[in-house]
Amino acid sequence: MATRRPTYSFKTPCERCPLRAIATFREFSSEELEFVSKFKRCELAVDAGATILVEGAHSAHLFTVLSGWGFRYKTLEDGRRQILNYVMPGDLIGLQGTIMGEMQHSVEALSPVSLCVFERDKLMTLYNKHASLAFDITWIAAQEERILDEHLLSIGRRTALERAAYLIAFLFERGKRLKLFNGEASIPITQQHVADTLGLSIVHTNKTLKKLANRNLICWQERTCEVIDGDGLMAAAGWEGLGEKVRPFI
Amino acid sequence: MATRRPTYSFKTPCERCPLRAIATFREFSSEELEFVSKFKRCELAVDAGATILVEGAHSAHLFTVLSGWGFRYKTLEDGRRQILNYVMPGDLIGLQGTIMGEMQHSVEALSPVSLCVFERDKLMTLYNKHASLAFDITWIAAQEERILDEHLLSIGRRTALERAAYLIAFLFERGKRLKLFNGEASIPITQQHVADTLGLSIVHTNKTLKKLANRNLICWQERTCEVIDGDGLMAAAGWEGLGEKVRPFI
DNA sequence: CGTTCAATTGACTCGGCTCAAGCAACGTGG
DNA sequence: CCACGTTGCTTGAGCCGAGTCAATTGAACG
């Protein structure tokens, strides 16, 4: 695949941000909206498979995902890869790099992704002038922490089958909430991604996913996972769901 | 052990906070210090083994650890437990509960722990009036996220021996930075804690720790882990260290 | 002086890994 | 338009890391 160079542009004005139409996201005050408009520098579009941020990079930007799917990951020297979490519309990426200097993980696109690019230098202004937005950023960081807690519980203590069911139910719930599915619930990941998320080998991941497919919970085709029975997955995982209602975004 | 009731008191004034003497923590401005003094309501002392916060609790307080060791964990319905991270002096606990309503994990003391108790309601004032402290809270949340990323990589992709070495090296590094050791580097955990952190059984954990002991990296005695060779542990884990210099605390 | 909790150790089993092939769907170049 | 090389999914065989069961020791506690 010939990866095109990333495309910069300034298309969507924040006033007509498509994310604002989605029910899970909280309303902005007009004053907040005005600031965010100025905070946003431009938009960036990348292809599926493109690397958005690299571990070790210093001058990372701050982004919000406008559309598309991606994932955060870390690798060991010998190449072993661990996927940490998935990024979807409304997610803030690059916060670690912006706040603490250096990125400690990479981010890669699973589908074509478009991003809002924010002025890194204006972040301090946000904290100084817009406490409610500053609070939102902390909220987002705390939410990410919460999800990582759940993943850690999953990898550490759930069985392979439970883990797989949990992961797919988790992605399904998030996608559903963001109205990412029309009709079919297709998650754009390969079994290799699942393996690298669950800490399993591909072979064993394949056999485990096959069990879920045999139970008629999912079905795998063309590099995507189709969710057939979300509730069945949650039951198989022993997972209660995200339990989150309205959330902020920047 | 007859757990005494937690003891509330107001002893240490922030101006003479013992944590401020430790080099890793950043300096407060006098104006910040003044606010934090008012933000702090009282102090709380709990015994080893006491539960500081419970998963599902709603009106959680916000604390900073003044002294002692503890850990955050989650459990599955059938009792499987996963330790998520350890808490040490300077760590903020209860942020998730304060910001998002409900605690999704519990916190337990490993040693006698003393805590600063903060006024939950004044948190918004902090965001409104003290942007630098608000930024610090985000910094702390982002740092926790970073550590969870590393733990996830560890549990997901490192071997049992590497994981164990990583965990102990990690605790050792943090303790060293906080000047928690005088002479002996003793970490107050049992092998059950190690097992529940690494996602292993106690039996296998014991055999793995024995290997580290045979290599003269650690030695286990009286419910504590003595670190003999911190660099050796880091090498065995293939871990670079925390790489963090000065950090904020509240 | 029994009881309890943590650390140990051995025996046996099993979940998950590695190795190895095979197959289907693509995209590319001749 | 076909022969490839590639990527992703599948499956079987055999092995090993890690789990379970079980029993022992030693220290701390009441």
Instruction: Name residue, tokens 């106690």.
Output: B202
CA A203 – C1' C19 distance (Å)?
11
Q: Does residue A78 carry a pLDDT above 70?
A: yes
pLDDT averaged per 10 residues in sequence order, chain B, 250 residues? 64 90 94 95 94 89 96 96 98 93 95 94 95 97 97 98 98 97 94 98 98 97 94 97 90
Give the gap in angstroms from C-alpha B29 to the nearest C-alpha of chain A: 16
Amino acid at B9: S
Judging contacts by C-beta atoms under 8 Å, the chain A residues touching residue B132 are 127
Give the gap in angstroms from C-alpha A141 to the nearest C-alpha of chain B: 6
Burial class (CB in 10 A: 0-12, 13-18, 19+), B21: exposed
Report how many helices (DSSP H) and strands (DSSP E) chain B contains, helices first: 8, 12
Neighbours of B132 (CB within 10 A): 16
Q: Phi and psi for B49 in degrees, rounded to 5?
A: 90, -15
Per-residue pLDDT tens over the stretch A53-69: 999 988 778 999 999 99
What is the per-residue pLDDT for B243?
A: 86
Q: Is A199 on the interface with B (CB under 8 A)?
A: yes
Whether A187 and A110 have beta carbons less than 8 Å apart is answered as: no
Rama region for A216: left / alpha / beta (φ>0; ψ in -120 to 50; rest) = left
Whether A155 and A163 have beta carbons less than 8 Å apart is answered as: yes
Q: Phi and psi for B196 in degrees, rounded to 5?
A: -75, -15
- Beta carbon pairs, A and B, within 8 Å: 138
Q: Is the CB of B200 under 7 A from strand D?
A: yes
Q: Kindly list the distances between the CA atom of residue B208 and the CA atoms of B39, B107, B163, B164, B215, in Å, as whole numbers in the listed order.
A: 45, 26, 10, 7, 11
Per-residue pLDDT tens over the stretch A126-136: 999 999 999 99
| Closest nucleotide to A80 by C1' from CA | C17
Report how many helices (DSSP H) and strands (DSSP E) chain A contains, helices first: 8, 12
Burial class (CB in 10 A: 0-12, 13-18, 19+), B128: middle
| Closest nucleotide to B219 by C1' from CA | C7
Judging contacts by C-beta atoms under 8 Å, the chain A residues touching residue B143 are 100
DSSP A165-181: HHHHHHHHHHHHHTT--
User: Smallest Cα–Cα separation from A225: which of A184, A196, A174, A195?
Assistant: A184
User: Smallest Cα–Cα separation from B134: which of A131, A139, A212, A114?
Assistant: A131
Task: Give A67's strand partners.
Answer: A114
Q: Is the CB of A206 under 7 A from strand D?
A: yes
- pLDDT, average across residues A74-98: 96
Q: Is B163 on the interface with A (CB under 8 A)?
A: no
Task: Give A118's strand partners.
Answer: A40, A62
Whether A108 and A73 have beta carbons less than 8 Å apart is answered as: yes
CA angle centred on A42, ends A37 and A45, rounded to 5°: 130
User: Which nucleotides of strand C lie within 7 A of protein CB?
Assistant: 6-11, 15-20, 25-28
User: Smallest Cα–Cα separation from B75: which of A149, A168, A243, A82?
Assistant: A149
Whether B116 and B43 have beta carbons less than 8 Å apart is answered as: yes
Q: Is A159 on the interface with B (CB under 8 A)?
A: no
CB-CB under 8 Å, B80 with A155: no
Average pLDDT score over chain A: 94
**Structure tokens given for A176:** 């559903």
| Closest nucleotide to B207 by C1' from CA | C8
* Secondary structure (3-state) at A223: coil
CA A211 – C1' D12 distance (Å)?
17
| Mutation site, A26, A71, A87, A138, interface B, largest B CB count within 10 A | A138
Per-residue pLDDT tens over the stretch B208-231: 999 999 999 999 988 999 999 999
Q: Is the CB of B203 under 7 A from strand D?
A: yes
Neighbours of A57 (CB within 10 A): 14
**Structure tokens given for B193:** 């804690």
pLDDT band at A5 (very low <50, low <70, confident <90, very high): low
What is the per-residue pLDDT for A197?
A: 98
**Chain A residue with Cα closest to B106:** A149
**Structure tokens given for A205:** 């991941």
CB-CB under 8 Å, B131 with A124: yes
Whether A101 and A108 have beta carbons less than 8 Å apart is answered as: no
Task: Give A110's strand partners.
Answer: none
Judging contacts by C-beta atoms under 8 Å, the chain A residues touching residue B192 are none
Per-residue pLDDT tens over the stretch B48-74: 999 999 999 887 789 999 999 999 999
What is the per-residue pLDDT for B9?
A: 78
Q: Which domains does chain A have, with CATH numbers?
A: 7-148 (2.60.120.10), 151-237 (1.10.10.10)
DSSP designation for B29:
P
CB-CB under 8 Å, A153 with B76: yes
Q: How far apart are CA A63 and CA A50, in angstroms?
A: 15
Judging contacts by C-beta atoms under 8 Å, the chain B residues touching residue A197 are 156
CA B2 – C1' D25 distance (Å)?
26
Q: Is B76 on the interface with A (CB under 8 A)?
A: yes
What is the per-residue pLDDT for B245?
A: 80
Q: How far apart are CA B190 and CA B178, in angstroms?
A: 21
DSSP designation for B112:
-
Q: Does residue A232 carry a pLDDT above 50?
A: yes
Average pLDDT score over chain B: 94
Q: How far apart are CA B202 and CA B174, in angstroms?
A: 24
